[in-house]
Amino acid sequence: MTDLILHQYAESPFSEKVRAIFGFTGLPYKSVDIPAIMPKPDLIALTGGYRRTPVMQRGADIFCDSALIAEVIDDQNPKTSIFGQAGKAQAIAAARWTDSEFFRVCVGLVFQPAALAANPRFKDAKAAEAFVKDRAAFTAGGPALAIPLPRAEAVFREHMRALEESLKNTSFLGGDNPNIVDFSNWHLCWFVHRQEVLRRYFDGFSAVGAWLERMQVFSSALQTTTISGDEAISIAKGCEPRKIDSPKIDPLLEIDRGAQVQVLPTDYGFQPVSGALVVADDKHIVIAREDERAGHLQVHFPRYGFEVSLAGDST
């Protein structure tokens, strides 16, 4: 079996979601520590432009977005699926809300002045300036990532009340086992909770506190070996992308297989990836591209949250 390689950094909440899923499944993986800000030359050699964190690699196949990464890991998961059967539709919808709207709420809390003052990254004026500049470029052209503090606090409290009620008589939001909703809520609660100055937001929510401890166990159950970005690129170069059985292309796109396309997220981080179209079905977009260092690659995206268009087409 080809190793799964997670390109991530320690403070990244969406990476934490994937680390915890790995911990739950018990699947071993390798990880590459990538920079939190641009430039990210090794990552870009693999993705072709996508810079968000995390990215997962399996040989010469590159998977963008934690929603897709969760699916790929789940396919190899020897335990109960984190997508379940009963309640699957509700779970997917709830995870999407959590990873988008609740993420903005938590960014609002984490980037409030009191939290920034206590954050080691922001202690160094130069590092802080570089980070702020990087994130301004990252979110350019889209709505602000953080929602204003009073609204963020209100929505956070209200969501904690709902979680508290949900967790009163059950170990996980998914029931006896965690599901994707647990992992989506976990990484964002972790993002807030890991900062001591913000821990007060969890006061009075004892069921949530006990659940955080249960989820922390998965997060700590890491079985990872760290490799360099260069090693990850050599691994890609030594593999061929996996053949996809019966690849489909949505006829409404009016794009032929093999046409040069570009893929962009629909929410933020509008750095396009270009390549030849391989798949664009209801679930996935896959493009083939070549990189001088990494060789032939296949880059995969979820269809939800990403747009594919002919290269050079601005409509």
Ligand X SMILES: N[C@@H](CCC(=O)N[C@@H](CS)C(=O)NCC(=O)O)C(=O)O
Site residues for ligand X, 105-164, by CB under 6 A, read: 138
Is residue 36 part of the contact set for ligand X (CB under 6 A)?
A: yes
Which residue from 5, 6, 13, 106 is in contact with ligand X, where contact means CB under 6 A? 13
* 313 contact partners, CB below 8 Å, separation of at least 6: none
Nearer to ligand X, 34 or 277 (CB): 34
Segment lying near ligand X (by CB under 6 A), choices 62-70, 172-180, 210-218, 250-258: 62-70
Is residue 237 part of the contact set for ligand X (CB under 6 A)?
A: no
Residue entry with tokens 């647990």: 182
N-term to C-term CA, the chain: 42
Is residue 306 part of the contact set for ligand X (CB under 6 A)?
A: no
Is residue 66 part of the contact set for ligand X (CB under 6 A)?
A: yes
Nearer to ligand X, 202 or 268 (CB): 268
**Cα Rg, the chain, nearest whole Å:** 20
Segment lying near ligand X (by CB under 6 A), choices 7-15, 199-207, 238-246, 256-264: 7-15
Q: Kindly report the number of other CB atoms within 10 A of residue 296's CB atom.
A: 14
Q: Which of 3, 178, 6, 4 is nearest to 79 (CA)?
A: 178
Instruction: Tell me, by CB under 6 A, how many residues bind ligand X.
Output: 12
Is residue 302 part of the contact set for ligand X (CB under 6 A)?
A: no
The helix (H) or strand (E) run that includes residue 262 is: strand 260-265
**Following DSSP, what letter does each residue of 267-315 receive, concatenated?**
SS----EEEEEEEE-SSEEEEEEEETTTEEEEEEEESTTEEEEETT---
Is residue 92 part of the contact set for ligand X (CB under 6 A)?
A: no
- For residues 235 and 154, what is the distance between their CA atoms, to the nearest angstrom? 47
Which residue from 14, 183, 190, 301 is in contact with ligand X, where contact means CB under 6 A? 14
Residue entry with tokens 């594919």: 308
For the bound state, the minimum distance from the C-beta of residue 70 to ligand X, rounded and expressed in Å, comes to 9
For the bound state, the minimum distance from the C-beta of residue 178 to ligand X, rounded and expressed in Å, comes to 17
Is residue 65 part of the contact set for ligand X (CB under 6 A)?
A: yes
Residues in contact with ligand X by CB under 6 A are 12-14, 36, 51-53, 65-67, 99, 138
